[in-house]
Amino acid sequence: MALRRIAGASTSSSFFKSFTTVLPQAAEPAPASPSYLAHHLLDEFSRPRASRDGERLRRLAAHLTAPAVESVIARLPSWRHALDFFRWADEQPGFRHSCYSFNAMASLLRRRQPAHLDRLAADALAAGCPMTPGALGFLLRCLGDAGLPDTAARVFDSARARLSCTPNSYTFNCLLDALAKAGRADDAEARLQEMLVKCGDGSVDKYTLTSLLQCYSNAGRPDDANDVFQRMSQHGWVDEHVLTMLAVAFSKWGKVDGAVELVGRMEVLGMRPSEKTLSVLVHGFAKQRRIDKAIEMFDKMATYGYVADLPMYGVLIEGLCRQKKIGKAVKIFEVMKSSEVVPDVRLLKNMIEAFIHEGDFAIVGPFINENAGKLKPSDVTALYNVVLQGLVNHGQVEVAYQLLTSRVRGVQGISDGLTVGAHVFDTMQDVKPNSDSFNIVVCGLCKVKKLDDALALVKDMVGFGSKGKLLMFNDLIYELCNADRLDEGYKLFNQMKDLGVIPTEFTYNSLFYGICRRKDPNGASDLLREMCTNGHRPWIKNCTEMVQQLCFSGRITEALGFLEEMLKMGFLPDIVTYSAAMNGLCKTGEVDNALGLFRDISAKSYLPDVVAHNILINGFRLSGKLNEAQEIMEEMLEKGLFPSVVTYNLMIDVWCKSGNIEKAVDCLNKMVDEEKSPTVVTYTSLIDGLCGAGRPDEAIVLWHKMSDKSCAPNKIAYTAFVNGLCKCGRVETALTYYEEMMTKGFVLDTFSCLYFINALISNGNTTKGCELLKEVLQRDMTQGDDLKMVGLINKAVEVLSKDGRTSPEISILVEKGLISRAQTMGIFDLENA
């Protein structure tokens, strides 16, 4: 439409006029004739700048005209030549570009040169070039095609003052078209209102609404687009272009079914859906993984005689492979080949991956042989790597290993029994492996812990002239360090650097982990210095592991020295690492040193967290320094830290052990108020404390409260409760809970059971006591040399042997040698002690 209006805007010259002229040989044309100028200017500006005739150009410039310039621009071989000529002409004295020469240049820049077109529009405004509405509209459309809606709006708004052009409905439509291409819906709506004011309601025509429909489609506003479509339908303005535009938009919005309905409507109206429309629908359905519908659209394309391209075949085949419809994928693939569409390496890789995923290795070799003939060697290697990766993923690492080594070492064939590899061995004989090939197999060997094979393959790789990949070195170094083969890990580390593979933070930390496992603070410090030099940081979990291991081994001084060394190198251990050191000190009984470290890091502006405080509280608790534990708790509260469930559990135990039961009970209540759910540890500590304080009734109430809160008691809870009730003289009650404990599969440890037996006997229940004693004696007495346990056994035997109800049972135990064995476990020593 725009082209027709521009063509009719002037009778003297036309942008689309052909200037092809064959100069007669008999006579020289007049110098000022357009054909003479165009011919000679075209001759000069088709040459490189250095070879142009300056004197000739000066003569031609004196006769320069706008029609001649327009003709030359249209006929030069490229936009660069045209722009060079356009700017030369602009510099000539007495010459001024017309709207047609500006538009001729804009037509060449509209597709791929937005920056130059933006400058051209600015030049047109600066020059004040008069334009007709048709010429202005064409320039606006060019700006829209170049994605310059703001420039189009600026030119439109300046047209009256700078271009001597009063916009009409046509120029408004061209501006709307520019805004529509950019999806600037709000701006388009504003301009439409402006158009109605200046040009009247009758100015809105089919082209106006078409632009608005495109705008809403590009802006992703389906409801507004549908409103415009309904309005166009009412006026009978819906044509093939409109339906195609809307169908494509529906597909982009994911409403592919709606797009199909529009295509059906086109067909009912006798319109032919375009190739682009059907192609978009195929891709849309494929994106939604509705491959059956995509194939329907594909078949429809065939009925219209449209030829599918490689991307379309690709999405169909990949979609079918994804749905494991390999048979259908193969059929489409054969149709593609019969249409002389050559598969690329990406599609072939997808097909091979699908075969392998289904475990159909037998077809892989013939498939590659049939389709890889036109591929580059590097692409064939890529297919080979897909096979290797598939074998590794299927757990056939040994097959992948032998396939690769057969190419590297020149081995003919693979081991008997590996039938999977036999299917593809012949195919791979002429393939040259690359770094990816070695990377795949080495990583696979690492996963199955075949580290010696992996190391051998790395050696082969270097001899083969490949340097490998970072991932394979990282995996192998990590696995070597994890297997305590640190020296080999270091050797490989140096080798990768020699090959030009730069170690990463992961590489260094894998070695660091291996050093930490060996509890080697000096080696760790040396590696940390290298890491610091290369800008890498140690992983805190490794630092924490080193500190913990040193502390647990009693090497406290080395652990603290390691932390100091980290500080000197600029690595700041976090509170987790320091907490590990404090925990190690506490577990080795050096709780005062742990407190010193705690004070030291606090002075260095670290903020010890709840965990660090818990470690100290637990350390003081275990060492019997209960007052110090309470002081750490109070200090934590003063700092504004909120106690955790662990904190409360520790403090309940501390208060119970110190005899401050009321504080322990208050602590439990506070936990509930703070919505911190008490655990079985919480209840067990407090129940044990209540029993120890001679308050068994409250302990029983708390026990049932624990069960009501869905907090199931464990073996430790039952043991503490049974022992506690016995201490309070509530032996029969203890027996009830003991039997409940047994029904739940929990068994008292030997010492607790012997204590319970003596409590039963002392309470007059010798029968039950004897029964339990027999069970204990029939167990494997792994702690038979414990004098306390021996004493408890002897005490029970002495009473039971004097009781007429149980003495026969004791005699049987003697006959079986159970009691005599027990009596030999230190009795003589006890009597002489």
Say which range, 107-121, 168-182, 747-761, has the weakest mean pLDDT.
Answer: 747-761
Q: Are 217 and 246 in contact (CB under 8 A)?
A: yes
DSSP string, 416-484: TT-HHHHHHHGGGTT----HHHHHHHHHHHHHTT-HHHHHHHHHHHHHHT----HHHHHHHHHHHHHTT
Q: Are 250 and 258 in contact (CB under 8 A)?
A: yes
pLDDT in tens, 288-315: 888 998 898 899 899 989 999 999 999 9
**Whole-number pLDDT of residue 426:** 53
Alpha helices, DSSP H only, in 639-786? 645-657, 661-673, 680-692, 696-708, 715-727, 731-743, 750-762, 766-778
Average pLDDT over residues 260-287: 85
**In the predicted model, is pLDDT for residue 130 greater than 90?**
yes
**Whole-number pLDDT of residue 411:** 60
Two tokens at 373? 């003939």
Q: Are 765 and 743 in contact (CB under 8 A)?
A: no
Q: What is the DSSP letter of 271?
A: -
3 state SS of 178: helix
- Domains observed in the chain: 239-341 (1.25.40.10), 612-792 (1.25.40.10)
Two tokens at 636? 């934590």
Query: Angle at Cα 167 formed by Cα 161 and Cα 171, nearest 5°?
Result: 130
pLDDT in tens, 518-552: 888 888 888 888 888 888 888 878 777 787 777 77
Average pLDDT over residues 734-756: 90
Per-chain mean pLDDT for the chain: 85
**Whole-number pLDDT of residue 23:** 39
Two tokens at 118? 């933006």
Q: Are 652 and 667 in contact (CB under 8 A)?
A: yes
Query: Angle at Cα 75 formed by Cα 70 and Cα 78, nearest 5°?
Result: 110
| pTM of this structure | 0.59
- Phi then psi for residue 388, to 5 deg, are -60, -45
Distance of CA 148 to the CA centre of its chain: 36
**In the predicted model, is pLDDT for residue 825 greater than 60?**
no
Query: Angle at Cα 47 formed by Cα 42 and Cα 48, nearest 5°?
Result: 140
Four-residue CA torsion sign, 274, 279, 284, 288: positive
* Terminal Cα-to-Cα distance of the chain (whole angstroms): 120
CA 438, CA 467: separation in Å to the nearest integer?
9
CA 510, CA 470: separation in Å to the nearest integer?
13
**Whole-number pLDDT of residue 190:** 95
Confidence band, pLDDT 50/70/90 cuts, at residue 500: very high
Query: Angle at Cα 542 formed by Cα 526 and Cα 614, nearest 5°?
Result: 130
Average pLDDT over residues 497-522: 90
Two tokens at 408? 């590297």
The pLDDT > 90 percentage for the chain reads: 39
Q: Are 120 and 109 in contact (CB under 8 A)?
A: yes
Two tokens at 349? 């890789």
**Whole-number pLDDT of residue 829:** 42
Helix (H) or strand (E) holding 47: none
Q: In terms of Cα–Cα distance, which of 778, 771, 687 is closest to 733?
A: 687
**Whole-number pLDDT of residue 32:** 53
Two tokens at 489? 């890990």
3 state SS of 123: helix
Q: Are 203 and 169 in contact (CB under 8 A)?
A: yes
Two tokens at 654? 């501390």
pLDDT in tens, 149-204: 999 999 999 999 999 999 999 999 999 999 999 999 999 999 999 999 999 988 99
Say which range, 23-32, 502-511, 595-604, has the weakest mean pLDDT.
Answer: 23-32
Average pLDDT over residues 445-454: 95
Q: In terms of Cα–Cα distance, which of 618, 621, 554 is closest to 584?
A: 554
Say which range, 203-207, 233-237, 531-535, 602-606, has the weakest mean pLDDT.
Answer: 602-606
**Whole-number pLDDT of residue 473:** 96
Confidence band, pLDDT 50/70/90 cuts, at residue 6: very low
Q: What is the DSSP letter of 346?
A: H
Average pLDDT over residues 48-66: 89
CA 132, CA 152: separation in Å to the nearest integer?
16
Average pLDDT over residues 749-778: 88
pLDDT in tens, 461-479: 998 889 999 999 999 999 9
**In the predicted model, is pLDDT for residue 5 greater than 60?**
no
Say which range, 33-42, 406-415, 652-661, has the weakest mean pLDDT.
Answer: 406-415
Say which range, 218-232, 367-381, 548-562, has the weakest mean pLDDT.
Answer: 548-562
**Whole-number pLDDT of residue 707:** 82
